[in-house]
A and B are shown apart, each in its own frame.
Chain A
Amino acid sequence: MSTSTNKNSYKGLYWIWAALTVVGILIGLYAPAWLMPRSMSNNMHLTVLTMVVFSVAAAPVAAGVYATALFALRHWAHKGDDVPAPGPQVRENAVVVTTWLVVSTVLTVFLLIWGLGALAVDNGSNGKNPLVVDVTGQQWVWSFSYPGTHVQSNELYLPVNREVEFRVTSVDVTHGFWIANMGIQVDANVGTITTIHTTPDKLGTFNIRCTQFCGLNHAFMVTEGHVLTSQQFTSWLASQPQRA
């Protein structure tokens, strides 16, 4: 087989790869925001952006796998019962090996750096007068208290555009405090307070779920949260009964 014939025979593969890459990039750009819960905080915006970047970066790689598989099905399928002769080896093809190593290294290092940066931002605090909320998990109810106000509630109320510091713990078994719309999830452990920050920036209602299988009614350990305007939040606090 001559080199030009060989190149021509792979043209179809390149076209399939290019088409699938475009499709993959479009999916990567639009699917995360469409499929993921409504983004209501800085953490969730970053999570959605990370999903977009990772999906777009993965699109050419995934397209290469699918294109090769589709091309192989169409062009390299062996017919008949006899054992086929071995195909050409790519092990010693310097261009293929070098390209693969360089591309996969660059891609992996990029994703690592992005991931570490996103993690640091995700766990960070802007230190600007955060609202502290104590979160307690107990089979099978979440309870929230607002230190300094004597207010406790089974639903979570937060003011918009103000950083919140959740101090999460459990009084029985390990629970998982998860607000999908806020992009935060942290274990609630007995005897330990775990802190996590977020800043809600959209008004509305969201669900809070337990992500650790915690017993009989784990599936019902769900409650509602609400992001209110600053005035509404102040009114809500004032309307709550004061504990003795």
Chain B
Amino acid sequence: MNRSKSLGVALASVLLGGGALALAGFALASATPHQAALNCVPSQSAANTCSLNLSTFPDSLAGEHGKTGGDHPDWVSYANDNLVVPANTTVDVTIDQYDSGGSLNNAFFDQVMGTIGGTATIAGKTVSSVDPNNVGHTFTLRGIPGSDKMLFVSVPLPADSNTQAVTIGDGSYTKPVVVQFSFKTGSKGVYEWNCEFPCGGGREGEFGQAMSTYGYMSGTLTVN
């Protein structure tokens, strides 16, 4: 084999290898499950304001996993994981929290952070923090350095201690704790959110299973 032919074969091998790696990357990315987008509903009465309604359940029977609860019907879940909100907008969030709870393993997350006024309304009462020993989940949203806005919002969702029964989909629950708060979005970008209460089970300090799988206690917030 002459020198130029050898060089050609080497170059082709490198290009083919790179192409195969890129293909594998695209395949993995497209295989990542994404639920249907939950769009923020524009307010009819206030400019640059929209509403986002979320729910947390002790199982996966009432949300985007379908009536059967998908692969893990007994895993805790947010009803939606793919949130879409407009840029430079006030987002009014309402979360219906149907799950029980316990103690946080990091009291940092008992505070309401990053919301307008630094407060949330929980069952009609405005608070800036909650009892760290009675938390069901948290909604913790964060940006990453490099984005023009270091978005960080964290709101604790107290454990649901109501007794009045309600049925949603195929799931039977008790009347939820209603948590409301607002935050402002910045420019376009994709942010990550997840729960910071150890509710997932598994070996990793209760941060396994539902806490370590897309579509249950974590997701994205797309600002567009």
Which one, B17-25, B60-68, B106-114, B174-182, is touching chain A?
Answer: B106-114
Check: B212 CB closer than 8 A to any chain A CB: yes
Q: Would A220 and B142 be within 8 Å (CB), given that A140-B194, A154-B152, A172-B198 are in contact? A: yes
A-B contact count (CB 8 A): 71
- The 8 A CB mask of B193-219 against A (1 = contact, 0 = none) is 010101000001111000111100010
Chain A CB within 10 A, most for which of B128, B154, B207: B207
By the criterion of a CB under 8 Å from any partner CB, how many residues of chain A are at the interface?
Answer: 25
CA distance A167 to B67 in the complex (A): 47
Contacts from A to B (Cβ < 8 Å): 136, 138-141, 143, 145, 152, 154-155, 171-173, 190, 207, 215-217, 220, 222-224, 241, 243-244
Contacts of A154 in B (CB 8 A): 108, 113, 142, 152, 154
Which 3 pairs show the lowest CB-CB distances between chains A and B? A172-B205, A143-B108, A171-B105
Contacts of B105 in A (CB 8 A): 138, 171-172
By the criterion of a CB under 8 Å from any partner CB, how many residues of chain B are at the interface?
Answer: 29
Contacts of B218 in A (CB 8 A): 216-217
Check: B97 CB closer than 8 A to any chain A CB: no
Q: Would A152 and B212 be within 8 Å (CB), given that A139-B207, A217-B192, A220-B192 are in contact? A: no
Q: Would A222 and B144 be within 8 Å (CB), given that A152-B108, A216-B218, A217-B218 are in contact? A: yes
The reply to whether B192 and A241 contact each other, CB–CB distance below 8 Å, is: no
Other than the given A141-B154, A215-B212, A244-B129, 20 more pairs (CB < 8 A) read: A138-B106, A138-B196, A139-B204, A141-B142, A141-B196, A143-B109, A154-B108, A154-B113, A154-B152, A155-B150, A155-B152, A172-B105, A172-B207, A173-B207, A190-B205, A216-B194, A216-B213, A216-B214, A217-B192, A220-B142
